[in-house]
Amino acid sequence: MKAHINGISIVAPGISTPEDAQHLLSGAGVWEHKPIEIKQPDLLPANERRRTTEVIRLALQALRPLIRDNDDLQSIATVFASAYGDLDISDKICLSLLGEPKQVSPTLFHNSVHNAPSGYWAIAATNTAPSVSLSGGSNTFTAGLLEAMAQVTSENRTVLLVIYDIPKADGILYTTLQEYPVAVALRLGVTAEPGTYGTISVKLVEGVVDAPLCRNVSLNRLLTGCGSVMTGLPLLEGLIRRSRQTVSLQYGLTQHLQIKVSHG
């Protein structure tokens, strides 16, 4: 399967703008932790905007820079990938069910489903195109990319892919697997658009591989602290550097996704 990467967006500590991503992933700077502002999505009506959670806002913030003025937002396909979904909401619901009376807020309930960010995107863009929401644990980046590539290839269409997760620092669903709130979004297409980052071709291969590391070693702290999302950071680094390379990302227990990057 083959697709052009026509847009890259990253929202993470120390990377809050496309210029930040270009600067760091091109090797021109050293990554430092800086808090990020997760903004209210400007595409949403006010009533829906106030119901959003941090996870939803993070996903939509990463998608926003990939939207073009001439896009038909009603028909553009999307893939939303998150290892954990909204653990904070799930934690609150679990605590409500442990107490008395066992009452769950309707807003909490509808935000708890794994495709909630996709639903808010559909409202924001009045979008009726196909949207897939998935989870792949530590292989979530790989699973999301594979799904988006399959849609580009089989449907001959542009696909927006966003991979995102936030940390859960306390409560009964506490996890140390995600250190920072991070999101990565890619715009994949059949044809190259102005400013394209290159072409990738992918295939599943048998065997176990080690996780790749970034050439800018300062970024490896971000990579290892946010494995479900940032596994693909070395791939994005190669795309931004316009490097010809092959990146292999683990997929499940016995396979890996081999990704070849080319330009021109």
DSSP 23-80: HHHTTSS---------PPPTTS-HHHHTT--HHHHHHHHHHGGG--TT--TTT-EEEE
Question: What mean pLDDT do residues 11-26 have?
Answer: 93
**pLDDT at residue number 94:** 83
Mean of pLDDT over the chain? 91
Confirm whether pTM is higher than 0.85.
yes
Domains in the chain with CATH codes: 2-197 (3.40.47.10)
Confidence of residue 24 (pLDDT cuts 50, 70, 90): very high
Confidence of residue 176 (pLDDT cuts 50, 70, 90): low
The secondary structure of 65-88 as a DSSP string is: GG--TT--TTT-EEEEE-SS--HH
Predicted confidence (pLDDT) per residue in 236-261, tens digit: 999 999 999 999 999 999 999 999 99
**pLDDT at residue number 169:** 62
Confidence of residue 34 (pLDDT cuts 50, 70, 90): very high
d(CA 227, CA 225): 6
First to last CA, the chain: 17
Predicted confidence (pLDDT) per residue in 113-169, tens digit: 999 999 999 998 888 888 999 999 999 999 999 999 999 999 999 999 999 999 866
Predicted confidence (pLDDT) per residue in 205-220, tens digit: 999 999 999 999 999 9
